[in-house]
Amino acid sequence: MLDTSSQFKVRSSTCVDLFSGAGGLTEGFRQAGFISAFAADFDEQAVETFRYNHPDTVCLHRDVRSLSGKEIFHAAGLTPGGIDVLCGGSPCQGFSLAGLRIADDPKNRLFLDFVRLTSELEPRLVLFENVEGIKSMQKGDVVRAIFREFDRIGYCCFERTLNAADYGVPQHRSRFILLAVPKGCAAISFPQATHGLPNQQLQLFSEARLMPYVTAWEALSDLTAIGPGEGAEELLHSGEYHNSYQRERRGNRCPGAIFNHRAINHSSRIQARYAQIPEGCDNRFLPIELRTKKRNVWKLDRQKPSRTVTCNHRTDILHPILPRGTTVREAARLQSFDDDYRFFGNLTRKAKWLTQDDQVGNAVPPLLAHALALQIKNVLSKEAVGVKYDSRNIDYV
């Protein structure tokens, strides 16, 4: 039964991150002032990365299918009603059997267990993120199934596709973002873009003037220039920066340090091929005698944001000047991680667990997460006065 007393509890801004990976989503929420109370991921190396960078967060190396809401409350030292935001981005591979058959594929259990934990934890708001392509899967049946599952447990959903570049990330990266709140709450709005093209028409209808997109070179130009095979897992930064983005990425965990700045030792033949790819182009622009069967090697354009950083960035996304693929640190800069955010794990796929490349490529850009967190925090603060709950239910009046 709902507590009908006149006493209201104003909750702290607390978040829980399932499928946390290396922690990009949590990092953005942390920078926005949220307390990260709990996280979980099935990958051992990603958990090591998360724990190093978020030492105050309880992070379990666990499959969410084996977790219960009671266990999360106990591990995080929380009680029912104490979670403001539950975040997660379950893998979408199993969604190929969507619609009425969403439970047929075992991989879908990851999403269904996320819904189960939402029901058990009763967060004030849910943030579910995934690839943009999820909207077109099975002609929209996947998203309809997701909405239906949240509706079944008493949450209504609002979705939007957001481009990370619109929020100061030097990379075009579109993500499907779903926000869910208990039924009866007001509709949830999404954060407005802060960056765009100089002549973008949106400025004519917006009170806030958009800042120019952050370019790849604005993100990378101050990093130590290293050739193929050079670099180290830990270097010292020169202390110089050329713009506000670089200054803001310095971080404060380990002042002066740059982690994970180590380049692949490409052969001379590969270096010669990379050197002839024009900026902003892929290897289809090479002379015929230098082309290979691989078609997805692309060189950064210094004047534009990067294309989407992938898990294969060290061979698929090339430095705009040097004849090599991007380092983990350069990819992390393009993802908007601070320089002192350290990634652990191997650099080759011979390992059982996720590589450093995987962890960076799979992450939610912290600046995109930060924009979402600030918007969510604003929504929750407006709702705080009217929240009543007991140990079993949460309601908004």
Residue 108: alpha-carbon gap to chain centroid: 21
**In one letter, which amino acid is 299?**
K
Longest dimension (CA), the chain: 79
Q: Token pair for residue 370?
A: 């930060």
**CA of 39: how far to CAs of 16, 33, 99, in Å?**
6, 17, 29
Residue 345: in which H helix or E strand, if any? none
As beta bridge partners, residue 88 has 128
CB-based contact 325:318 (threshold 8 Å): yes
Residue in 92, 156, 185, 281 annotated catalytic: 92
Identity of the amino acid at 282: D
For residue 234, the SS3 value is strand
Q: Is 92 noted as a catalytic residue in this protein? A: yes
The angle formed by the CA atoms of residues 38, 36 and 389, to the nearest 5 degrees, is 80
**Long-range contact set of residues 276-279: C-beta below 8 Å, sequence gap at least 24:** 277/318, 279/320
359 neighbors 345 (Cβ within 8 angstroms): yes
Task: Please tell me what DSSP assigns to residue 29.
Answer: H
Q: 226 and 327 in contact (C-beta within 8 Å)? A: yes
| Cβ neighbours for 34, distance < 8 A, ≥ 6 positions apart | 13, 14, 15, 84, 85, 373, 377
Compute the distance between CA of residue 83 and CA of residue 90 in angstroms, rounded to an integer: 19
Residues classed as catalytic: 92
